[in-house]
A and B are shown apart, each in its own frame.
Chain A
Amino acid sequence: DADVTQTPRNRITKTGKRIMLECSQTKGHDRMYWYRQDPGLGLRLIYYSFDVKDINKGEISDGYSVSRQAQAKFSLSLESAIPNQTALYFCATRGQPGTEAFFGQGTRLTVV
C-alpha cells in the first residue's frame, strides 16, 4: 500500500458543487500539506497542518477549506467549485523540518 493515499484519483464536477478530496498517510508524520499543480506554475501550497489542532493557510487558500480529522487524515474541500479550480491536487506529508516531503499520487479535478 502507498504511504500517502489520495481519493478520488479523478473527479469531474459541476460549477457550484461542493467537493471533498481526501488524503490519508501511514508515515506517522505530523505535517501534512495540500498543493495544487497547474501547467507552467509548478506546485503551489493551499493549506498545511502541523498537527490536528494546527491549520495554516498557504499561498492560494481562497476558495478552499481543510479538515484534519486525525494525525493520518487531511481533507481538502471546495465549497463551491469553479472552473479555474480545475487542476491536479497533491497531498504530501513531512517529518521534521529539513526533511523531504512524501507525495500522494494526485487527484485530477475537472470543474465544468
Chain B
Amino acid sequence: AQSVTQLGSHVSVSEGALVLLRCNYSSSVPPYLFWYVQYPNQGLQLLLKYTSAATLVKGINDFEAEFKKSETSFHLTKPSAHMSDAAEYFCAVREGGSQGNLIFGKGTKLSVKP
C-alpha cells in the first residue's frame, strides 16, 4: 500500500535561510508525487508535482523538489525563505489501482523567523 511520511511536524528557519521539508514515500507502482501548501484559513494549493518526467521539479514561489527513487524521497526545498512562506506543507502520493486517490502525509508546519 502507498504511504507518505513527512519528517518533522514543525520546521523553523530564519528569513533568507534554506528551506528543506522532507518527504519519503512508499509505492507499489511508479509514483506520482505532489507537494501542497496551506496558508492560514485557506484550502490546499498545489506547489509542484512529479509525474515521471524530470526528476527535479520546479514549482511556484521558487520551490523545487527532487525525486530520488533509490531513497524513495521527494524533499521540498527553497533557497531563501520569506516570511510569506510560513504555512503548512503537505506531501502526497497517488494511490495504486484504478482509484488513484491521493494519500497525504501528516503535514509540516513551517515557521519563518525575521
Q: Are A105 and B42 in contact (CB under 8 A)?
A: yes
1/0 contact string of B76-114 vs chain A (CB within 8 Å): 000000000000001000100011111011110000000
Q: Are B101 and A103 in contact (CB under 8 A)?
A: no
Q: Are B100 and A105 in contact (CB under 8 A)?
A: no
* Interface membership of B45, Cβ < 8 A: yes
1/0 contact string of A9-52 vs chain B (CB within 8 Å): 00000000000000000000000010100001111110010000
1/0 contact string of A92-104 vs chain B (CB within 8 Å): 1010011011111
Chain A residues with a Cβ closer than 8 Å to the other chain, count: 24
Q: Are A42 and B106 in contact (CB under 8 A)?
A: yes
Beyond the given A42-B104, A56-B99, A97-B99, could you list 18 further A-B residue pairs with CB under 8 A, ordered by the A residue number? A4-B43, A40-B9, A42-B90, A42-B105, A42-B106, A42-B107, A43-B44, A43-B90, A90-B44, A98-B94, A100-B34, A100-B49, A101-B44, A101-B46, A101-B102, A103-B43, A105-B42, A106-B42
25 CB-based A-B contacts, threshold 8 Å: A33-B101, A40-B9, A40-B107, A41-B106, A42-B104, A42-B106, A42-B107, A43-B44, A43-B104, A44-B104, A48-B99, A48-B101, A90-B43, A90-B44, A97-B100, A98-B51, A98-B100, A100-B34, A100-B46, A101-B46, A103-B44, A103-B45, A104-B43, A105-B42, A106-B41
A101→B35 CA distance, assembly (Å):
11
Mostly helix, strand, loop or mixed at chain A's interface?
Answer: strand
Chain B residues with a Cβ closer than 8 Å to the other chain, count: 23
A92→B36 CA distance, assembly (Å):
13
User: For residues 20 through 62 of chain B, which have their beta carbon under 8 Å from a beta carbon of chain A?
Assistant: 32, 34, 36, 41-46, 49, 51
* Minimum Cβ distance to chain B for residue A7 (Å): 14
